[in-house]
A and B are shown apart, each in its own frame.
Chain A
């Protein structure tokens, strides 16, 4: 199945950039989780978990690289059904952490099925729109595609994990846009979204979600409560300056003024300790990964491959942009982590797997 020559078509530049980002992430996790004791200190356990997840992630990447994506796509309905099954399972049987049921306990690693939802949804949508002649011009096809997206979205939102659930929307729009979604229809959808928003505000959002949004609009209203994180994020980034405070020297990070630093606010830590220079490097790497992946979509030999890459990159870009904006206090605090860099095993493994697919598409551009 894996022909030797394919090896030479692997996009090493993209792969290096990915590993570079993960490396920066591990360094920042090391800095934020280092445990200081009176006699000295030791490495936080999160660093080892992340390294462990990276190894599993590389294995996942290799697996998703090795299997021809077209074969995967043919079985996408089974993969999709499996995902739905897992999501239903965690809803009833999953372990609860931080007030949400997201995890399946798997020995040392807790698996979070929702992290694999983007990949699965991208796969089935790419398959669905790539394999019919009409693309996404037909409204009834859009409804079916929307249905594929909404089922896992609602299941994840129910956990509740609105942050992860919302990331499925860009996947849907990414695939349908590339598949020729009419601009007029896009306009209608956006308009409908605007009209639904007040209703959602009243009926669908939990109080803590409302207060997060309110506090984002005016963080000074409650500087010790919900607005605290936004304020501290801005202070963290702003105090970093041009060249930063130095590795493990970030006062906001080391003295715990910035909450969940190794997770949601890892990019703020980078900004504090490595300064604007570090930010340029980080953003540069992410932009490179995104544009390079979209090149793979351009080079793809079939629509399926192009849509698959488009869907994955749409979800990925949305996460990156939202998290980076949040890390500088420009977006409401939401549980959207920075893919590849934030602490989180399932997220890292799932993201590596999706990039396995992207490399897969590019690698197989000449095969039939």
Chain B
């Protein structure tokens, strides 16, 4: 049946078998050489790639240091919030997953798709944050439907928590470190994505508050799941800081703006308040309104909110207390009085007769009181804010001596508070005008400056410093917010910065100023609303014109042209423990600010003496409109 192989066939078969055998042997040798090249020659390179695939360093964010007030009340803390994230490696159908998530949590699916699309090019194991700072119901809804959407997870993130409507400009906010910050030497150690302070104290004391980021080395599988922790370096919590702020005083100031704004204008006042301890420069309260909600920045602010904050005409991001300047109005008379007495130009008993106006350098300057104040001395000129008296002092002093004393009291100067972006304001001098305007100073201009008009512009903070310096007799302490630092061994007092400048004012000057300011509140002056039984509150109102009278007519209806109101104060008159400023935008009269100051001072003493803190009654809804109707009073002066 089968054909036995012939000799020829057999030979040919053997040759061909040998060919096959040798060929296969050569191929196997080639394969062996290939493996040699990959496994031995290029081993180090492949080993590194393999390790980079499964070894990963995961940063452990350090919680930021707590902020507490001078009595230890916690003002800013950290809480875990939950981000809902997508791990693409584990997700099956991303489109459907997003739809399910959107339906479960009640968010729009469009923006979720955009987020994923935007980060498409990143490595797939890196989680994409879909819903930052998810609400509790959202997290619960997500957990309930987790099986339907593999790859969707919750990720706890330590998050800053701030009180609502409280000290926003004081604390500032945190956010991801920016590209430009990363270029700077003090941010060199940080990685992209690190959370740093971007405004306020969070920014000023970022280095202390940040702590040190930890890290863990983990083994991950191809789906990015953590399999084993190899090494862990704990994060070091940021340094807790004790502030000079008194939480109750801060709250009373914030409440005051809301309450008296509602009473007098039908809406909360915008503005600023600074309260200092004139014995040390400690800031007890610092308010700027309108404010923003710093919590919104804590887990990454969305674009819409950011845009509305930056384009808002009311500028909620600006800290009015130190980043904006206004005309000081009559509060500047305190500076002129100080200069006159200290320079020996006038004594406290120096008298001027006011009949409603006076002529200087050929031009008539009016007093706000057209019927005149009659003969007034220094104290009563301050009490009644007599323009003619201060015109006269201004003419006698000249602008340079006014400038000298304004600077000594902190006006037109940087006062060095530990908050970012303080501006200096301006008090003019002859040299300034020559330098900036390339013109010589006209003596007539000094007359306007003497009542706080013309070129004079100041920050609310600098007026508080002025009151502090007057209150303590000449020491211009650096206003500061940091009282103590806890470096792990309990609170250690923080050494305050040295005073910015110091003069020794004459006792007679100090006494005359105190009496004049006391009379303004407790006598026939304009600040009666700040009067507080037994507290000897002393102070002075002022109005800052927003726009000239003719301009006001032109701009009618387009912008708010009502004047700003000032109230500067100290309490008590002898050995003051409080000094400060209230600035109420478009309040028209300084005496509305006096009401706010009274509430703050009342709160201070109530707390000091252990009495229940004063409460502001809710304003009745009626009468508001009537009270808000402005009473025009622009007879060319300030009160």
Contacts and interface: CB of A to CB of B under 8 A. Distances in A.
Interface of A: 70, 74, 130-133, 135, 174, 177-178, 180, 224, 234-242, 251-252, 255-257, 271, 275-276, 279-280, 283, 286-287, 290-291, 294, 297-298, 301-304, 306, 310, 314, 317, 321, 324-325, 328, 330
Contact of A303 (B3, B35, B43, B223): B3
A290 B35 contact: no
Contact of B40 (A242, A302, A306, A325): A242
A238 B47 contact: yes
Contacts of A283: 28, 31-32, 35
A297 B17 contact: yes
A302 B3 contact: yes
22 contacts: A130-B3, A131-B2, A174-B20, A177-B16, A234-B38, A235-B53, A238-B39, A239-B43, A240-B39, A251-B53, A271-B35, A291-B21, A294-B17, A294-B21, A298-B14, A301-B4, A302-B2, A302-B3, A302-B5, A303-B5, A306-B13, A310-B17
A239 B43 CA distance: 6
Nearest to A174: B20
B20 A310 contact: yes
Given A302-B4, A317-B24, A237 B39 contact: yes
Interface stretch (B202-210, B214-222, B278-286): B214-222
A306 B2 CA distance: 12
Nearest to A178: B16
B34 interface: yes
B54 A257 contact: yes
A15 B576 CA distance: 106
Contact of B34 (A235, A294, A306, A330): A330
A287 B30 CA distance: 12
Contacts of A279: 32, 35, 39
List the 10 shortest-distance A-B pairs measured between CB atoms, nearest first. Answer: A238-B46, A239-B50, A255-B221, A276-B39, A238-B38, A239-B46, A256-B222, A257-B222, A241-B43, A239-B47
Contacts of A280: 32
Given A328-B35, A330-B34, A131 B3 contact: yes
B17 A298 contact: yes
Given A135-B9, A235-B50, A328-B35, A130 B2 contact: yes
Contact of B28 (A74, A286, A297): A286
B227 interface: yes
Nearest to A73: B2
A290 B25 CA distance: 9
A74 to B, nearest CB: 8
Contacts of A302: 2-5
B285 to A, nearest CB: 55
Nearest to A277: B39
Given A276-B39, A298-B17, A302-B2, A255 B54 contact: yes
B621 interface: no
B554 to A, nearest CB: 65
Interface in B220-248: 220-223, 227
B575 interface: no
Contact of A242 (B14, B20, B43, B223): B43
B306 interface: no
Contacts of B54: 251, 255, 257
B42 interface: yes
B157 interface: no
B12 interface: yes
B17 A276 contact: no
A287 B25 contact: yes
Nearest to A298: B17
Contact of B3 (A133, A178, A251, A286): A133
A237 B31 CA distance: 13
Nearest to A258: B222
Given A177-B20, A238-B47, A298-B14, A276 B40 contact: yes
B360 interface: no
Interface of B: 1-5, 9, 12-14, 16-17, 20-21, 24-25, 27-28, 31-32, 34-36, 38-40, 42-43, 45-47, 49-51, 53-54, 124, 219-223, 227
Contacts of A178: 13, 16-17, 20
Nearest to B36: A276
B546 to A, nearest CB: 62
Given A255-B220, A324-B31, A328-B35, A239 B49 contact: yes
A132 B5 CA distance: 11
A54 to B, nearest CB: 25
A287 B2 contact: no
B17 A255 contact: no
B222 A255 contact: yes
Contacts of B43: 238-242
Residue among B4, B20, B36, B219 with most chain A CB within 10 A: B20
A91 B383 CA distance: 108
A321 B45 CA distance: 26
B220 A235 contact: no
B45 A238 contact: yes
Contacts of B49: 235, 238-239
B221 A256 contact: yes
A242 B42 CA distance: 11
A288 to B, nearest CB: 10
Contacts of A298: 13-14, 17
A125 B359 CA distance: 130
A240 B44 CA distance: 10
B47 A237 contact: no
A252 B50 contact: yes
Contacts of B20: 174, 177-178, 294, 310, 314
B88 to A, nearest CB: 10
A76 B438 CA distance: 115
Nearest to B88: A224
Contacts of A241: 39-40, 43, 47
Given A177-B16, A237-B39, A304-B2, A321 B220 contact: no
B220 to A, nearest CB: 7
A256 B163 CA distance: 48
A130 B25 CA distance: 26
A224 to B, nearest CB: 7
Contacts of A236: 50
A341 to B, nearest CB: 15
Given A302-B3, A328-B34, 6 more contacts: A237-B39, A239-B50, A251-B219, A276-B40, A301-B4, A328-B31
Nearest to A179: B13
Contact of A255 (B9, B21, B24, B227): B227
Contacts of B28: 283, 286-287, 321
A339 B43 CA distance: 27
B36 to A, nearest CB: 6
A178 B23 CA distance: 14
B128 to A, nearest CB: 15
A283 to B, nearest CB: 6
Given A234-B46, A240-B39, A291 B32 contact: no
A255 B228 CA distance: 11
A224 B4 contact: no
B20 to A, nearest CB: 6
B17 A237 contact: no
Contacts of A237: 35, 38-39, 46
A212 B115 CA distance: 31
A290 B24 CA distance: 8
Contacts of A239: 43, 46-47, 49-51
Contacts of B222: 255-257
A250 to B, nearest CB: 9
A304 B9 CA distance: 12
